[in-house]
Amino acid sequence: MIITSLHNDKLKHIRALQSAGKIRRAEKQIVLDGVRLIADALDSGLQPAFALYSEEATTVDKPAAQLLERLQAQGVDCTELSPELMVQ
């Protein structure tokens, strides 16, 4: 499945977490962006609720592709995001 709408529940959840510390504290969740931050979180034993990625990033960036494989192997819900939404 590819997310193509700004009205997707996962995107709404991410925006809420990014915009309100109160929500982050209540849900005990944060948004991590970037291969290194996510890999460091995994190395620390944290398990993401889900991950969003662009196909372009995983075909151009070898570390991103390796991270995606690692997330999938750990059973993390990984969903592709359309390129148009990745820059939003």
Distances in whole angstroms, Cα of residue 34 to Cα of each of 53, 63, 64:
10, 10, 8
Count Cβ atoms below 10 Å from residue 53 Cβ, excluding itself.
19
User: Is the pLDDT score of 61 beyond 90?
Assistant: no
Q: What amino acid is encoded at 11 in this protein? A: L
Contact criterion met (CB below 8 Å) for 86 and 54: yes
Nearest to 13 by CA among 40, 39, 52: 52
Select the more confidently predicted residue: 58 or 8.
8
Model confidence pLDDT, tens digit, residues 2-50 = 999 999 999 999 999 999 999 999 999 999 999 999 999 999 999 999 9
pTM value surpassing 0.95: no
